[in-house]
Structure 1
Amino acid sequence: MNGAEMSNCPYRERRTLFEDLLTDHGLTAPWTLCPMTTDLAKAREWLESWTHVSGVEGIVPKVWC
């Protein structure tokens, strides 16, 4: 990274870099990494069970082409 523009990089690459950044620097709240899954069953579980979790504002589905 080191100041490099990352917006044109694939999401998965940016996500990995962000995960590493949080881990490497021991960042905690208010910095947090939202959970992510490509597993449809897990996404359905989240839709059904996370509707009453404090601090969860919603779920953002994304379609990968």
Structure 2
Amino acid sequence: MNNNEFPKTINTAHTEQPVQLSYPVIVPEVQQVLAEGSIAVITILCLTVLVHEIRLLVEASKS
């Protein structure tokens, strides 16, 4: 085989590119922060609704 010839089989084990993920990977710490933030937002919304309902009850009791 001459030095100018390419081998008939090419080892591609070292030439393959790593697989690119099409979605972001969220580490557990970030998942925990997102969960805590979601719980905080839901809690604030529930408290807002509760305060609104209490105000309605107070107004209704004054009438």
TM-score (normalised: structure 2): 0.29
Structure ranking higher on relative contact order (CA contacts 8 Å, 6+ apart): 1
Q: Structure 1 length normalisation: TM-score?
A: 0.28
Give the helix-richer structure, 1 or 2. 2
The higher radius of gyration belongs to 2
